[in-house]
Amino acid sequence: MKKILVVLLVLFTYGTVSAQSEKEDNIPVPNYRLASKYSPTNLGKMVHSTSVRPNWLKKGNRFWYQYKTTEGSKYYIVDADNRTKKELFDNEKMAKWLTEITKDPYDAKHLPKFDFKFVKNDTAIQFYVTSTEKVEEVKEDKNEEDKQKRDSTSTKKKKSKPKMVNKIYHFEYRLGGNSLIVLDNKKKEKEEWKKWANIAPDSSVVLFSKNYNLYWMDKENFLKAVKNEKDSTIVENQWTNDGEENYSYGGRTRGENNETKLKNKDNRKYVGGTWSHDSKKFVFQRRDARHIKDLWVINTTSSKRPTLETYKYHMPGEDEFYKTEIHVFDIPSKSSIKVKIDTVKQQSIQIYRAPRKKSTYRDDFQPSLLLSQKGKIYFNTISRDRKKLDICVADINTGDVKVLIEERFNTYIESRPLVLFNNETEMLHWAERSGWAHYYLYDTEGNLKNQVTSGSYHVERSIGVDDKTRTLYFTAHGIPKNQDPYYEHMYKINLNGTALRALNPGDFNTNTSMADSNKYFVSNYSRVNTTPKSELRDSSGKVAMQLEEADLSQLFASGYQFPEPFKMKADDGITDIYGVMYKPFDFDETKKYPLLEYVYPGPQTEAVNKSFSVRMDRLDRMAQVGFIVVTMGNRGGHPDRSKWYHNYGYGNLRDYGLADKKHVAEQLSDKYGFIDIEKVGIYGHSGGGFMSTAAILVYPDFFKAAVSSAGNHDNNIYNSWWSETHHGVQEEIDENGNVKYKYMIDDNQSLAKNLKGHLMLITGDVDNNVHPGGTIRMAHALIKANKRFDFMLMPGQRHGFGNMTEYSFWLRADHFSKHLLNHEATNIDITEMNRDKPKGK
């Protein structure tokens, strides 16, 4: 009997050990080496250009662009009308000329980084090159005062050793020419004036802010300031005298600390505003924030003494609100008026501006212009609860206001720029009044003429209007019903709503840039699982020429594999959810992989790539550690679908997307046997940090580990615009007519007692977007609930973690490896960060 028991015990023990051993054999081993291989630095060596970014020229339908491959960078100029694409210059010849002139060696694959300026009616380019040759620094006497000061100093002191600097070459190359001209050896002037000067369209006057007031100077004095800002002969003219901090005429101090604010208090600063096209009027929105409460962050690493940053920050549900005025300054008379709007009503105001021409994007100064050229200020007001939008017009001379269009909705209203055309007799207004985003044609008196676009699809934005053919060019999502509704394409349609036509069709996501003439556009297209390509099309949609195909040869040679798009159902079993799956490149189908979800709930977007991207840090790269990583949408997410889908989370901003994240993970596990549904992790940043913590607390038996960075865990202390817009704020009027705003939202810390899995919280200590207080409150609640968790403070970091982004990646990798792969990194050094760093002597 004893022998039988011993045999049974041995068999049982052996079976248990074997089962355990087999289970462990099925768990991937963390592959830190593979994840390190695809760091942003290493990717930059393998992937170069993936799209054509056209720099449209002012003359003709022409543009130039740079494109980099494994053969180096080349520069091209395209003439769309003539269907030609030529190299801007011959790389071999350019290398020869630069070598001969600068005496520094260059070859065709290794040219210096160029910043071209087109001159002489777009027939020539100018650029600077810095040589390795050292020369004596030549200091220009920018005015007589400088010269006298220098002469006086030189007589008092012995002649010191001259300062040596790198020699500068200012070149000009005439397109099609056979030589390079040296214009001079002066270094490029520092354009400090761009930080403070708002130049009139005709360059006659420059506005700026100083000590919270509006100042101006004429062109002559501005040119002195361009040469030497401290020139004592500069004449400044003060226009206003009632400006004060937080109720000023420009000169915002956001981002400054107690030391820099004091140091810069008397400096010229920028005043934002909008010019009339004739340069005679300047329209400025003055915001009163004096009554808004302060918020603070302390930077303990910035200098010898920790610095304090103080800024106004309105939180949801607070009674106070910003008060906005619209001032119109008359340049010739130096007088001003106020536009007649109700400054007591709690509302936000946006002034419509003229769209910038593509050919001006690289101009030295780019004044912001009013939408109208005929003495009108078009603007909108939206109520604090975001449910009432008015499109208005004001007379620029009298300030009288007329409401043209009203939009009302029970959830928040979104908008796009107003489109004014046909000699300012007609306008296009974007609205979601049908449950889908579409354009409506109005006359400029506010009378509806007809709906232009219609149907179950989302219009994104207007690209241009052809007055002669009465054609609207626009981008949209979801028109083809047989493809991912997030894919964006360009279309055209007659303004009477007929003849809708796709201009760059195909089962791809596209990104476009159209010429100012509306005759041609560059279309970059790809999916997450295709190589990016670029082409030029005309306004009928016909391909004019193929431009580029991305060079991914080195990337694929490294072992890279495309991710896999998927479509599943939301928790309601009806709504389609689109996502992407990222696998390890050493994927072994015999193993069971933990599942990680990378999340960002929106509602203004979803963290789901639709085009190929080299920004792999949070997705492709995380998978290489040893996980299946997925990213997906959720009801209440991206606005590129129906308003129902987008507004699904209204009033439930904490939990609205969680059921979909869980349900889609379960469907993926049912479909793919290599997914271990017992090991699901979740991570995200900002709103994703908020969502990942909510997920592990709302579904504590499902999500086993989470990493939450910079999360707005307590939306009661996040900014009111985002919280009150997407969650909702209740406007209540008492019997005396006083308006109060009631805001109630669930926070993460109220669920701290639910924690069962392994949670890591990360925040930057000077995050002035999502205040670190949100993460600290979450940590406080977990401590009170007697929970174990990990916490990391990123010293001196804002919302994006800056130069500590790479460190945060390895924190995340360590956390999930330890808790989902049963492997803990114990080495004090993060070897993967140190391995490729050159060691100093």
> Does the pLDDT of residue 129 top 80, yes or no?
yes
Q: What contacts 8, CB < 8 A, 6 or more positions away?
A: none
Between CA 225 and CA 142 the distance in angstroms is 10
Q: What contacts 411, CB < 8 A, 6 or more positions away?
A: 387, 643, 647, 650, 728
If pLDDT is split at 50, 70 and 90, which confidence band does 143 have? low
- Strand segments, DSSP code E, in 617-658 are 628-632
pLDDT digit string, tens, across residues 654-698: 999 999 999 999 999 999 999 999 999 999 999 999 999 999 999
Between CA 501 and CA 504 the distance in angstroms is 9
Of 32, 27, 20, which is closest to residue 594 (Cα–Cα)? 27
User: Would you tell me which CATH number, out of the four given (2.30.110.10, 2.40.37.10, 3.40.50.300, 2.140.10.30), belongs to the domain 197-269+271-409?
Assistant: 2.140.10.30
pLDDT digit string, tens, across residues 217-258: 999 999 999 999 899 999 999 999 999 999 999 998 888 999
Where in the sequence of the chain do the CATH 2.140.10.30 domains occur?
197-269+271-409
How far, in Å, are 51, 486, 704, 721, 778 from residue 717 at the CA level? 40, 32, 28, 11, 12
pLDDT at 19: 46
Cis peptide before 105 (omega within 30 of 0): no
The residue type at 814: D
- Region 761-775: mean pLDDT is 97
> Does the pLDDT of residue 457 top 60, yes or no?
yes
pLDDT at 161: 83
Question: Distance from first CA to last CA of the chain, Å, rounded?
Answer: 74
Which residue is listed with tokens 């106070």? 320
**What order do you get walking across the sheet with 533-538 strand by strand?**
509-514, 520-526, 533-538, 543-549
pLDDT at 9: 45
> Does the pLDDT of residue 11 top 80, yes or no?
no
Comparison of pLDDT for 366 and 438, the residue scoring more? 438
pLDDT at 7: 44
Q: How many CB atoms lie within 10 A of CB 204?
A: 14
pLDDT digit string, tens, across residues 345-364: 999 999 999 999 999 999 88
The pTM of this model reads: 0.93
Where in the sequence of the chain do the CATH 3.40.50.1820 domains occur?
561-713+748-834
The two three-digit tokens of residue 790, written as one number = 């990990």
pLDDT at 148: 59
pLDDT digit string, tens, across residues 165-193: 999 999 999 999 999 999 999 988 888 88
pLDDT digit string, tens, across residues 390-433: 999 999 999 999 999 999 999 999 999 999 999 999 999 999 99
Asked if residue 595 lies in contact with residue 665, where contact means CB atoms within 8 angstroms, the answer is yes
If pLDDT is split at 50, 70 and 90, which confidence band does 139 have? confident
Architecture of the domain spanning 561-713+748-834: 3-Layer(aba) Sandwich (3.40)
